[in-house]
């Protein structure tokens, strides 16, 4: 099996200028060209049956940064996100062209172990989906299915993950109560903790705050800020303020095409494309 542990392939935008990034000026603060690429999407086309949902997407997602996907509903941002851990495999009739490399390894290679991939690329869903088990068992789930049953290890991981998701103080006295008894925001952070527990490299978040109230949203955003020290985060959001607040890079999608991908600051202050500007200023979408 091909593991994804091989060394990162440092790649600058200069050496491989692509259609989407050619416009990034060298002086952009924390510009893409100086980042280490972790996920490299190349000419990705995706079809639901005969309907094409993604058109020639190429982008380099940098490591240990937060990358936000924005765009109106149905623009393909969630679809692209779900390609990164091959969740789209579950949908019948999906066909993907092009390549998607993580650490230089094509995850759509026939030899790729999807299970191993998903352990390295965690996911947090739009609707929090804790299992109908205790808080403790929710966190342990990823380890247990990997065959870890040592109580000491599990205890440690549970504490570390919950602390990492800023949930420890709230639930440490009721670890063995059902996770379904938590509030919506707590449930979502539990899902993040659950994803963190298996120590992935990438965490994909599919509109993680869309069902949360502003206070819970603020907590999750704070958490994202913390998490990026350790993980590469890709977040899909409808909320442009959120993208502005918590992401380093932002990609704007429209009708299945990647319109613009740049540092968040530039996208919001000085977008290159007219469509991007129209969208973020609220002229459509």
Q: Give the residues lining the site for another protein (CB under 8 A).
A: 85, 87, 90, 92, 115-116, 118-119, 122-123, 125, 127, 129-134, 136-137, 141-142, 144-146, 176-178, 180-181, 191, 194-195, 198
CB of 68 to another protein, least distance (A): 20
Min separation Cβ 27 and another protein, Å: 39
Contact 230, 149 (CB under 8 A): no
Lateral strand order in the sheet of 37-48? 51-62, 37-48, 94-102, 105-106
d(CA 138, CA 140): 5
Q: Report, in Å, the least distance between residue 115 CB and another protein.
A: 5
Decide whether 1 or 90 has the Cβ nearer to another protein: 90
Of 142 and 164, the one with the shorter C-beta distance to another protein is 142
Exposed e or buried b per residue across 74-91, where buried means at least 16 C-beta atoms within 10 angstroms of its C-beta: ebbbbbbbbbbbbbbeee
Q: How far is the CB of 85 from another protein (least distance, A)?
A: 6
Dihedral (CA of 233, 17, 251, 96) sign: negative
Q: How far is the CB of 77 from another protein (least distance, A)?
A: 17
C-alpha torsion angle, residues 184, 145, 64, 41 (rounded to 10): -100
User: Which residue, 19 or 177, is less far from another protein as judged by CB?
Assistant: 177
In the complex with another protein, the residue whose CB is nearer, 19 or 113, is 113
| Closer to another protein by Cβ: residue 86 or 266 | 86
Minimum distance from residue 282 beta carbon to another protein (Å): 31
Q: Residue 169 in contact with residue 190, Cβ under 8 Å?
A: no
Structure tokens given for 31: 């510009």
- Residue placing its CB nearer to another protein in the complex, 127 or 283: 127
Per the CB < 8 A criterion, the answer to whether 227 and 197 are in contact is: no
């Amino acid at each position: 099996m091909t593991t994804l542990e091989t060394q990162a392939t440092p790649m600058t935008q200069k050496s491989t200028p692509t259609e989407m990034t050619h416009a990034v000026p060298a002086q952009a603060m924390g510009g893409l060209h100086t980042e280490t690429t972790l996920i490299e999407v190349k000419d990705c086309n995706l079809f639901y049956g005969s309907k094409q949902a993604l058109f020639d997407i190429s982008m380099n997602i940098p490591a240990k940064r937060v990358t936000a996907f924005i765009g109106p509903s149905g623009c393909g941002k969630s679809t692209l996100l779900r390609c990164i851990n091959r969740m789209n495999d579950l949908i019948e009739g999906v066909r993907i062209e092009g390549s998607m490399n993580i650490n230089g390894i094509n995850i759509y290679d026939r030899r790729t172990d999807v299970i191993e991939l998903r352990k390295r690329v965690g996911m947090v869903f739009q609707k929090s989906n804790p299992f109908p088990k205790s808080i403790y068992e929710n966190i342990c789930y990823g380890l247990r299915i990997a065959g870890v049953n040592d109580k000491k290890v599990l205890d440690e991981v549970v504490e570390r993950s919950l602390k990492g998701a800023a949930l420890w103080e709230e639930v440490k006295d009721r670890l063995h109560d059902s996770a379904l008894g938590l509030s919506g925001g707590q449930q979502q952070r539990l899902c993040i903790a659950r994803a963190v527990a298996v120590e992935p490299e990438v965490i994909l978040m599919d509109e993680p705050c869309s069902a949360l109230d502003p206070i819970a949203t603020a907590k999750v955003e704070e958490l994202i800020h913390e998490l990026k020290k350790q993980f590469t985060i890709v977040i899909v959001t409808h909320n442009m303020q959120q993208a502005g607040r918590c992401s380093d890079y932002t990609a704007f999608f429209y009708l299945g095409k990647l319109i613009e991908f740049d540092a968040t600051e530039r996208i919001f202050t000085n977008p290159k494309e007219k469509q991007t500007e129209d969208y973020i200023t609220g002229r459509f979408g």
